[in-house]
Structure 1
């Protein structure tokens, strides 16, 4: 009942409400997904966007864990196409890793070549391992900005091409 009463006020005030929930497992489920969110069905029904966020890996700096690599799946989306997924880094005391996302996009766009654990761009080696390469991009933002400009150019070409 609370969500039914709140949705009108939330809509009128142009407010975003974020609920964080946990997963539980149903006992005795043989087929289908045994995971269920707590709190009943109202949250599933009233939510405009539902995301499933899972930890993929830990990001380490030496022995210290500095963040997590997460995979996000869009479970429900009333405002855009659903069932998309993304993978990115969330760093403690920093948030989502900007340069890590730039590196991922550059590798996907074939602007940065990955051979084994080495990353290189235009014949120049950027670093061995993902974290070292992200550190190189942080230290050399000019190269990072060039990659971003090239990525934007590729995205614009893709949008402007007739179907």
Structure 2
């Protein structure tokens, strides 16, 4: 892997190409002097760690359920190495089977934080609708694409206007 990355590194840098490697991590139990501590070993060796500009560790945190059915996975993404910005940032995401990453909970949280969606106690007020909890508000945003798009547009204009 080291030799292959060394050969393609120069041409990738000059062609402004992005390559994403997915590498499996395995646990290897070390010797007795380390008290049986599990060490992470990558199948491709250590070359990806050195050549990567951004290295993220993605792990499953749980299952997302709607009533009794499993509808997705909860994942944790941690930036371990980042040459472009400070590392060690962490994000909790949800992925729905057949849909991908769920953006609705993040939009709902930011919109409430910046006053675009009103929240009183556990109730949410979105476009004249009164929703009793977070699950109902998320479901409402999933089912109404135009409301979600309008909220995202107003949230972007609000956030980018504040930074100027």
- TM-score with structure 2 length normalisation? 0.75
Task: Return the offset for 1:150.
Answer: 4.2
In terms of Rg, which structure is larger? 2
**CA distance in structure 2 between the partners assigned to 1:33 and 1:155 by the alignment:** 43
- SS of the counterpart of 1:34? strand
Distance 1:36 1:104, change over 3 A: farther
Q: Unaligned 5+ residue runs, structure 1?
A: none
Task: Return the offset for 1:27.
Answer: 1.9
Q: CA RMSD in A?
A: 3.0
Q: Deviations over 1:34-88 (max 9, x none)?
A: 3343322111000111111122221223333221121211111122332222222
Q: Deviations over 1:82-108 (max 9, x none)?
A: 222222221222111232331233345
Residues 70 and 89 in structure 1, CA contact (< 8 A), matched pair in contact too: yes
Match of 2:17 in 1: 15
Match of 1:57 in 2: 62
**CA distance in structure 1 between the partners assigned to 2:71 and 2:158 by the alignment:** 32
Find the partner of 1:93 among 90, 93, 98: 98
Q: Unaligned 5+ residue runs, structure 2?
A: none
Moved over 6 A (4+): none
**CA distance in structure 1 between the partners assigned to 2:56 and 2:66 by the alignment:** 28
- Count of residues in correspondence between the two structures: 157
Residues 88 and 100 in structure 1, CA contact (< 8 A), matched pair in contact too: no
Match of 1:135 in 2: 139
Is residue 145 of structure 2 the alignment partner of residue 156 of structure 1?
no
Find the partner of 2:4 among 2, 5, 23: 2
Task: Return the offset for 1:136.
Answer: 0.7
